[in-house]
């Protein structure tokens, strides 16, 4: 039932009209629903997204297989200064969370994979922030191909969504694309242990937070546990729906849109009694991209709420504050 000032559930958007050719009308209706949902809820399920279920399943199986490796194998991949590798449980605290006073570290552990760089890439050779090598487990060599295929497919969807998002904001369809020449991509292979009692000390799977970037496209297993905060404060479940992804607006898209699109707080509490696995993919701009609200988006009398910011600077400041490994000296 629809609650007052709230949404009981997150809408599902059939995005087939955003891919390839379709009638102008159908595309317009889809864009309008996208706009309305992102202005109000900030989270939406994408159905008919064109990505093979089999590829999503293969990635999901790979997440489980990675986490089934012996702990020593995972520890050998400890996250490097380029933010790639294994993030142990309780090693990140969302200090920059604007939605809660977060002092307890998250209970999840994960493997962070980012866009691959050619060894001859100047950014790689210079060792620019985040432009380093991924960490792959030698015990599971197939993971690299599976993860890179998955990232390629989700990047294509991310670009289609960037076009649709520009249209939804009344901008030229290609408006965002130059900002994604060298997109910053994160694929996180997450494991959440069963929660047990929620106590002050225990912490939860993922403390309430908003995502840093442009959009997040998430696939999750059947455990449930993801919750999204409605404007009235209620927590709305975002359970898995077969054949869909959950997409949400990150802080930088919210900033770009002058707050029109909502970067909505969410959290994870795994009450399933089993381990939970998920695979968020973060589709973010090029590091050098400058995020500035386009003047054509402003209504009469409206001014930009935030000054322009370079995405790479914005991101590194957040990573430096939230991840313990960036604050302690290397062993």
Ligand X SMILES: O=C(O)CCC(=O)C(=O)O
DSSP summary character for residue 66: H
Q: Is 211 in the site for Fe ion (CB under 5 A)?
A: yes
Q: Which is nearer to ligand X, 17 or 59 (CB)?
A: 59
Are the beta carbons of 154 and 217 closer than 8 angstroms? yes
- Which of Fe ion, ligand X, none interacts with 167 (beta carbon under 5 to 8 A by kind)? none
Per CB under 6 A, which region of 2-10, 50-58, 218-226, 320-328 contacts ligand X? 218-226
Q: Is 188 in the site for ligand X (CB under 6 A)?
A: yes
Q: Which residues contact 223 (CB under 8 A, 6 or more apart)?
A: 192, 270, 272, 274, 275, 276, 277
Q: Which residue in the shown chain puts its C-beta closest to ligand X?
A: 278
Q: Which is nearer to Fe ion, 109 or 211 (CB)?
A: 211
Which stretches does DSSP call E strand in the chain? 12-14, 43-47, 85-87, 109-114, 184-192, 206-209, 215-220, 226-229, 235-237, 245-249, 266-268, 276-284, 290-291, 309-310
Q: Which is nearer to Fe ion, 211 or 221 (CB)?
A: 211
- What is the rounded CA–CA span in Å between residue 136 and residue 220? 22
Q: Is 207 helix (H, G, I), strand (E, B) or coil?
A: strand
Stated length of the chain: 331
Are the beta carbons of 303 and 309 closer than 8 angstroms? no
Residues 126-165 that bind Fe ion (CB under 5 A): none
- Which of Fe ion, ligand X, none interacts with 51 (beta carbon under 5 to 8 A by kind)? none
- Which of Fe ion, ligand X, none interacts with 220 (beta carbon under 5 to 8 A by kind)? ligand X
Q: Which residues contact 201 (CB under 8 A, 6 or more apart)?
A: 104
- Which of ligand X, Fe ion, none interacts with 185 (beta carbon under 5 to 8 A by kind)? none
List the x/- string, 262-301, binding to ligand X by CB under 6 A. ----x-x---------x-x---------------------
Min CB(219)–ligand X separation in Å: 9
Q: Which is nearer to Fe ion, 91 or 131 (CB)?
A: 91
Closest CA to 184 of 208, 151, 209: 151
Min CB(189)–Fe ion separation in Å: 14
Residue 266 bridge partners (DSSP): 209, 228
Q: Which is nearer to Fe ion, 86 or 186 (CB)?
A: 186
Choosing from 190, 215, 293, 315, the residue that interacts with ligand X (CB under 6 A) is 190
Min CB(237)–Fe ion separation in Å: 15
For the chain, the distance separating the N- and C-terminal CA atoms, rounded to the nearest angstrom, is: 54
Q: Is 109 in the site for Fe ion (CB under 5 A)?
A: no
List the x/- string, 219-238, binding to ligand X by CB under 6 A. -x-----x------------
DSSP summary character for residue 121: -
Closest CA to 282 of 202, 187, 157: 187
- What is the rounded CA–CA span in Å between residue 86 and residue 309? 29
- What is the rounded CA–CA span in Å between residue 171 and residue 35? 12
- Which of Fe ion, ligand X, none interacts with 204 (beta carbon under 5 to 8 A by kind)? none
Per CB under 5 A, which region of 21-29, 48-56, 117-125, 207-215 contacts Fe ion? 207-215
- Total site size for ligand X, rule CB under 6 A: 11
Instruction: Give the interface with Fe ion as residue ranges (CB under 5 A).
Output: 211
Instruction: Give the interface with ligand X as residue ranges (CB under 6 A).
Output: 188, 190, 206, 211, 218, 220, 226, 266, 268, 278, 280
């Amino acid at each position: 039932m629809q609650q007052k000032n709230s949404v009981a559930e997150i809408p599902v958007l059939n995005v087939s009209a955003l891919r390839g050719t379709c009638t102008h009308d159908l595309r317009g209706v889809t864009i309008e629903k996208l706009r309305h949902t992102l202005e109000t809820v900030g989270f939406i399920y994408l159905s008919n997204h064109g990505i093979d279920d089999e590829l999503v399943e293969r990635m999901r199986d790979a997440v489980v297989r990675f986490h089934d490796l012996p702990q020593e194998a995972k520890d050998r991949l400890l996250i490097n200064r380029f933010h790639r590798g294994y993030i142990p449980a309780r090693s990140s605290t969302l200090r920059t969370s604007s939605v809660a006073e977060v002092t307890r570290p998250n209970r999840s552990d994960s493997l962070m994979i980012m866009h691959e760089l050619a060894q001859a890439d100047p950014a790689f050779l210079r060792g620019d922030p985040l432009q380093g090598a991924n960490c792959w487990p030698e015990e599971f060599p197939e993971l690299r191909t599976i993860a890179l295929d998955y990232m390629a497919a989700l990047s294509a969807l991310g670009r289609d969504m960037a076009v649709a998002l520009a249209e939804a904001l009344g901008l030229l369809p290609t408006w965002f694309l130059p900002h994604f020449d060298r997109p910053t991509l994160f694929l996180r292979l997450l494991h959440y242990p069963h929660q047990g009692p929620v106590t002050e000390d225990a912490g939860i799977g993922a403390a309430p937070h908003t995502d840093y970037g442009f959009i997040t496209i998430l696939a999750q297993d059947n455990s449930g546990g993801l919750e999204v905060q409605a404007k009235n404060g209620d927590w709305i479940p975002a359970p898995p729906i077969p054949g869909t992804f959950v997409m949400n607006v990150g802080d930088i898209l919210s900033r770009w849109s002058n707050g029109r699109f909502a970067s909505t707080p969410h959290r994870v509490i795994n009450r399933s009694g089993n381990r939970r696995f998920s695979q968020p993919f973060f589709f973010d701009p090029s590091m050098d991209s400058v995020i500035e609200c386009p003047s054509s988006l402003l209504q009469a009398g409206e001014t930009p709420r935030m000054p322009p910011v370079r995405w790479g600077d914005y991101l590194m400041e957040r990573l430096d504050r939230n991840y313990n490994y960036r604050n302690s000296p290397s062993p």
